[in-house]
Structure 1
């Protein structure tokens, strides 16, 4: 039973009247006044674009309205239970209200308002306050940042901080009390008993009852299948399978919205109209902050507007939606050299003004610049900034496999020729056709066997993952191959390509196996041009697998159910909630926006990435291979054969490619995270028994396995969560995936793929055959053949726009080793976190040294792009460096 149900509305009204009239009760003489500060941001502040003129006046009026009896607060005793209350809840103090606006307070964020508040408190009767109830009787919601009490108990300077960071809606929107706890950290067994019922009820409220359509003020975390990607009511073209809940298409769960089913298919959830897509439900506290939302909308508008306004209208009017660029110089001209954090100009004030209601004023001014530029302009991607042609070289092609945007696929070649794991009864013979004779003349005098024995042969394998889809994809306007790329590790630590195998399904049927061609590095002329095209098909595959698997599935999708389980099962005062919470910021929102506009049927991903309508289905098939413990960085490197265990080596691993920037920097970051997690967890859990007896922790891990990743619940590899080591390992993996791994595979997108010929997202035709006009054109104008193969103008511009949006660091980013608030009172935890920050600063210095070492040729390469994707701190914009705490974009 909630407090609202215990105290009827008339009773609440009576308390307000007594407080307003200065009424006293028995024992008032023993009471003292506890002074406090309440910091909040009104909704109007977050809605206005600028803070000048009438807008500022209106905001002040809105702030003043909260003074008086519009917002009430009641402190809850942490040590004195009320015997009249069911469950032994802590005694309540008298109602208090927001008093004066504190104008002298320095604002950390524009728009913050600080109010004074005074609580009558009988320390002898009530002890120490440990939580408070807040009621908002105003007609609009506000964002409650914190409440700080000064001299809250005996002794000078006893300060109690309540970290809130939550939206508080009008009381009529809730059927329960909004309760906030102090900044203390408690295991369930250590929670003061008077506060325990509030803790349990808060978790129950966050779990909800699994029914109904969620409203914006709801704070409910619940699970659903990915059944909202298709739109069957629009026709069969928009039908997509439900992902999750079936052996055919297993998938991590997403946040439930409760929207009604479609008319056509009761298993599919109806979709919001595109114009309302930004309002897709996630729990209100998970939504982007106003600065992040402002930036996100602004840059999304800028990128889309500069494509659609000048280019789309022109292409439509001429009926040339598939127009190609004639040469590479035309592509180079769509870029302009400007600071990475400055938006490009656009020339349609009306459109932007009409749809930019919540955009930061400074960004809006930039958006509305009009310099009569006729062509869209993007920042120059780093891959062509120093040298416009180095991206074409074999050396750069290989270097990006260990230091580019997708450095997590390359593996050691363990058998020659490479063998397929596809079912031969379905797919026939799929083993590689690459021969020793084709590669042994490039092994610096070694035989294939000797090169393998000395760990010098590697492979980028996109064969088995793609072959089941090649026939279906090639039945559309897209044409791809399944590919295998063999590589040789040279004495200077760099890789060189040996052969590329392009494979198609047998035209007589899948069961007859693959039809394959092998290409080797060529010189000038047609052979060289064919080799360049072969590399393009590899880049297309790597680009799609990166976007759908390395990036979306292995970070965004697998983390969301862990976010949900954490909020449902771990109280905000639980130490593991406090540990993980910063690493979940904005993840549910960006995933919801992705479902609405990127990964949905006909969305940006299907329109610009080669699997098309099979994109998300393919990611579900590959989720079958997902194993949680194997996503620890050391385990991943060992699985791919990129490292071997060695107790004498740094971090206990010896890299087989010593100059492997992702792995070298990644192991430093991994080790720092693990040390921090170990120090933190061992402080709160002094034995394995404490892990086993923590009911919240056990419920959390059970729900992660059985609900969040329910299609994997019976896998034997899940940690059992019976020991401190299992907790440390699991939390380290979660933080690694949410921070460093995501940074490594996300923020290099624009630096490398912003120039789309380097990493094209699809190919439109197969490699030219001798005797065809396309083959003859390859002799005279190979670049034109390339541009007829990669995306045409409109798709290329859309792809660049999307990549630019997703590669930006926001202005309110919080990086690894940082927190933007007082998150705990525990000195030991704070000291461990400080050590973590210092270690990350040391790692930054090491990365700078490594990038300046000319002997490490994979660190920058001929394109002169230093590897900074795992540099802990970053900069706003397209800096290509920095590890945000969370998957926030």
Structure 2
């Protein structure tokens, strides 16, 4: 499967090279030619948000252009994508390297350790299944801070706190009520899933064949003064009201409570599995695919249609676009229809509806790091408090934003001395129009750039999405998701209808919720994070970006080039400093098993 996918990507790379979208050798196309080459797909012509039109009619209009409709037969590529299924039979007599050898979690863990020791197939990198404590409350909660998705945990609203308190009263959980009332509450809120796919609140979210189920989970957590994040309660699948949903409360009220029963508290472990599966959807489809890849693609196409090559904004952003369009084409043609659709808990139509919903509700300015952290309950001035020592992503990303902001501001100040110079730049006006236009990017939240500060923030956001943010949500996928019990893409059995039913769950029901009886889905779910987590090449890091900007000024005289070179070298120095700070932050974490190094500038693309 991995080999087939890589061959598809190679085919796409060749096409994007020959078509001129991402040429291996720089092409001297003028601005008007690039506008003809880079166009948006006609709105509504496929199931995705706005993206590059891959077969524009440019013969006779662009120098040396080939007939792209002849060069690229999209239907044949989709046929190639179907090979992913042909190489994975419906029934696997011997699952070979990926079969969880047995019907218990201990057996699955043992098999995982053997495969990692032997380094067979995709098991060449460590995963969370090596940890004997992978299922515990501490490790479950810490993933909201430093896991594959550290970007959606937020302060619990008063409304949700009241809902949990009322449910605790209904279940006579007086001790838990007292714990909740102590405050410092956070949550992972995926309750909106049904609304996002226009499904009734009481309806089940499940695949068309009824074998896979999606959870709209809500998890309530408490952050102690010592910085330990602890799960208190989980709504396994929110159906519009607490009365229609199943809520379970943790028997362990605080992190210091005995851990002796954690391994055999099967109802609670099942609920955590539902929450993790729910987060798989939020992470893969929202945080990773849509908010990084698909949003960045619109930035790229709009920029090509707005800026000449010597425009300062274009020169700052262009190096961050390496292979993005090719990768995204592979996602649309293969990964989503042939893998994501086949392993998540939505129907095919719901999957695409969810993607479109997340894109349409992406708020550009609200996702600026300082604003986003503040809104989610992590104000920048508070992150230095020891209470937040374990939220290393938040601490790292806030400093990275500041360093990038300093660099972009320094470079652009040379070209835009005041707000009026920004507001009158015709290229920026075009860029705004391309980003916001209904027939182009349709990104309604993209700001109208009338001031220098607005311009700097917008450009920093483009870099943030393409580089550190994508790095944070991409490169830890294999560690946390290749071991399926930690974070399955769906639940593979109907969910319990009542808390009484859930309270009777044993290991048997938990195992049944995993794709142990679905070899094709198991294989795809283990391979997907491996495919997506391939490490960034050394020459593509932020360090190399800073050095390449500095080198681009060599041999060119003038105060402008000196200024840009100085800004780039200062960026490099600032990144070196960040590397040391980030290492110190990682060392301060309570969890000493896994360091949080994903945003190290030497690793960040």
Instruction: Normalising by structure 2, report the TM-score.
Output: 0.79
Decide whether aligned partners of structure 1 residues 437 and 494 sit closer, same or farther in structure 2, where only a CA change above 3 A counts.
farther
Aligned pairs for 1:667-816 (under 5 A) are 667-706=398-437, 710-713=441-444, 718-767=446-495, 778-779=505-506, 782=507, 784-792=508-516, 793-811=519-537, 813-816=539-542
The answer to whether structure 1 residue 480 and structure 2 residue 339 are counterparts is no
Partner of 2:68: none
Deviations along 1:315-350, whole A, 9 cap, x unmatched? 1799xx9999523324542565779xxx966xxxxx
Residue from 146, 151, 154 that aligns with 1:408: 151
Q: How does 1:161-560 map onto structure 2 within 5 Å?
A: 166=25, 178=28, 202-208=30-36, 220-225=37-42, 242-243=47-48, 251-258=49-56, 271-274=74-77, 312=89, 315=92, 326-328=103-105, 329-330=107-108, 332-334=110-112, 378-385=123-130, 387=131, 389-418=132-161, 433-435=167-169, 441-442=175-176, 448=181, 451-452=182-183, 456-466=184-194, 468-469=198-199, 471=203, 473-474=205-206, 476-503=210-237, 505=239, 515-522=244-251, 524=261, 528-560=265-297
Q: Which residue number in structure 1 is paired with residue 67 of structure 2?
A: none
Partner of 1:88: none
Instruction: State the secondary structure of the residue aligned to 2:308.
Output: coil
- Relative to 1, partners in 2 of residues 1:755 and 1:610: Cα closer, same or farther, differing over 3 Å? same
Task: Name the CA distance, whole Å, in 2 between partners of 1:688 and 1:515.
Answer: 53
**CA-to-aligned-CA distance 1:596-634 (integer Å, 9 cap, x gap):** 10123xx11111222241212112123332111011111
- Structure 2 SS opposite 1:532: helix
1:622 corresponding residue in structure 2: 358
The C-alpha deviation readout for 1:334-388, integer Å capped at 9, x for no partner, is 565779xxx966xxxxxxxxxxxxxxxxxxxxxxxxxxxxxx5512533233x2x
In structure 1, distance between residues paired with 2:214 and 2:91? 29
Structure 2 SS opposite 1:499: strand
Are the counterparts in 2 of residues 417 and 433 from structure 1 also a CA contact under 8 Å? no
Give 1:499 deviation, angstroms: 0.9
Map Cα deviations across residues 22-58 of structure 1 (whole Å, 9 max, x no partner): xxxxxxxxxxxxxxxxxxxxxxxxxxx9xxxxxxxxx
Residue matched to 2:298:
561
Match of 2:569? 834
Give the Å deviation of 1:729. 0.8
The CA distance in 2 between the partners of 1:736 and 1:257, in whole Å, is 29
Larger strand fraction of residues: 1
Shift of 1:255: 3.6
Measured in 2, the distance between the counterparts of 1:626 and 1:484 equals 21
Cα deviation for residue 639 of structure 1 reads 1.7
Residues 447 and 540 of structure 1: CA distance in aligned 2, closer, same or farther (over 3 Å): closer
Name stretches of at least 5 consecutive residues in structure 2 with no aligned partner. Answer: 1-9, 11-16, 58-71, 253-260
Deviations 1:170-207 (A, max 9, x none): xxxxxxxx46xxxxxxxxxxxxxxxxxxxxxx111111
Q: Is the 8 A contact 1:608 1:761 kept in 2?
A: yes
After superposition, residues 633-644 of structure 1 pair within 5 angstroms as: 633-643=369-379
Per residue, is there more helix in 1 or in 2?
A: 2
Deviations 1:673-711 (A, max 9, x none): 100111111022222222233222221222122257643
Structure 1 residue corresponding to 2:395, chosen from 661, 664, 673: 664
Check 1:769–1:684 CA distance in 2 against 1; reply closer, same or farther (3 A cut).
closer
3-state DSSP of counterpart to 2:599 = coil
SS at the partner of 1:627?
coil
Give the paired residue count. Answer: 546
Distance 1:544-1:722 versus aligned 2 partners, 3 A rule? same
**Given the superposition, is the C-alpha separation of residues 847 and 141 from structure 1 closer, same or farther in structure 2, using an over 3 Å criterion?**
closer
Q: Match for 2:332 among 582, 589, 595? A: 595
- Contact kept in structure 2, 1:226 and 1:254, CA below 8 Å: no
Provide closer, same or farther for how the CA distance between residues 702 and 141 of structure 1 changes in structure 2, counting only shifts above 3 A: closer
Q: Identify if the C-alpha distance between structure 1 residues 225 and 477 changes in structure 2 by more than 3 Å, giving closer, same or farther.
A: farther
For 1:403 and 1:771, the matched residues in 2 are separated by 31
* Contact 2:41–2:50, Cα closer than 8 Å, also in 1: no
Distance 1:681 1:434, change over 3 A: farther
Q: 1:515 to 1:315 in 2, by over 3 A?
A: same
Quick check: which has more Rg, 1 or 2?
A: 1
Distance of aligned partners of 1:271 and 1:228 in 2 relative to their CA distance in 1, 3 Å threshold: farther
CA offset at residue 768 of structure 1?
5.2
Structure 1 unaligned residues grouped into runs of 5+: 1-48, 50-139, 146-163, 169-177, 180-201, 209-219, 230-241, 244-250, 260-268, 279-300, 346-375, 421-429, 874-881, 885-889
Secondary structure at 1:519 match in 2: strand
Q: Is the 8 A contact 2:222 2:231 kept in 1?
A: yes
Q: Calculate the TM-score normalised by the size of structure 1.
A: 0.55
